[in-house]
A and B are shown apart, each in its own frame.
Chain A
Amino acid sequence: EAGVTQSPTHLIKTRGQQATLRCSPISGHTSVYWYQQALGLGLQFLLWYDEGEERNRGNFPPRFSGRQFPNYSSELNVNALELEDSALYLCASSWTGRGNTEAFFGQGTRLTVV
């Protein structure tokens, strides 16, 4: 069974541009989570999608947005890129429901803003 897949693996953008990151959850998982992991910092929660709806949002500006498609894959968009947006972006998926369900992570997209 395929795990959580993220694309691209690496992405280099210029300040002010837009970046689009993609995530395919494990088959059967309906919840997708996005996290930002800046160098030397922990994982900061960005967004949670479930059944196509945005369920929760972290403390990030509106230029961070996303969506979840009918097949439960998800896209994270970052507009008007700033240098401090350079980070590893991790996507995770899990079954909807109880909090004890394991969240499985992808290998991340390394976004570099120059």
Chain B
Amino acid sequence: AQTVTQSQPEMSVQEAETVTLSCTYDTSESDYYLFWYKQPPSRQMILVIRQEAYKQQNATENRFSVNFQKAAKSFSLKISDSQLGDAAMYFCAYRTGTASKLTFGTGTRLQVTL
């Protein structure tokens, strides 16, 4: 069974600083996709970034980037130049190549301080 583990229940970062959120996963599949979702207090889940397992290059989206280590089954999210609006729950998620369910980690609550 696929599992996703986020070992940091809470993280804090100062505005304009950089923070890294950790995620590990377990799978025997070769074709899969990894995602980071953000859930602000409004409850709306928003896709932050995605990574295809077959791509060696790490995905980037503006201030957000990932460190994808396939052999280690690690998928961390780096947020650069943190902003107050980045404060939210962040969920790491996994999905196989056949558009099946998303499997989520338990989330990391990110606090951004002045």
Contact = CB atoms under 8 A, between A and B. Distances in A.
Interface in A48-100: 48, 55-56, 58, 88, 90, 92, 94-100
Interface string A38-54: 00011101001000000
A22 B37 CA distance: 23
Interface stretch (B12-20, B60-68, B74-82, B102-110): B102-110
Given A105-B44, A105-B45, A96 B99 contact: yes
Contacts, number: 62
A90 B46 CA distance: 12
B86 interface: no
Interface string B91-108: 100011111111111110
A35 B10 CA distance: 22
Interface residues of B, number: 26
A99 B103 contact: no
A97 B31 CA distance: 13
A106 to B, nearest CB: 8
Contacts of A88: 43
A100 B101 contact: no
A88 B89 CA distance: 14
Given A33-B101, A48-B101, A107 B96 contact: no
Interface of B: 31-33, 37, 42-47, 50, 52, 91, 95-107
Given A48-B100, A48-B101, 7 more contacts: A33-B102, A42-B107, A56-B100, A90-B45, A95-B99, A103-B102, A108-B43
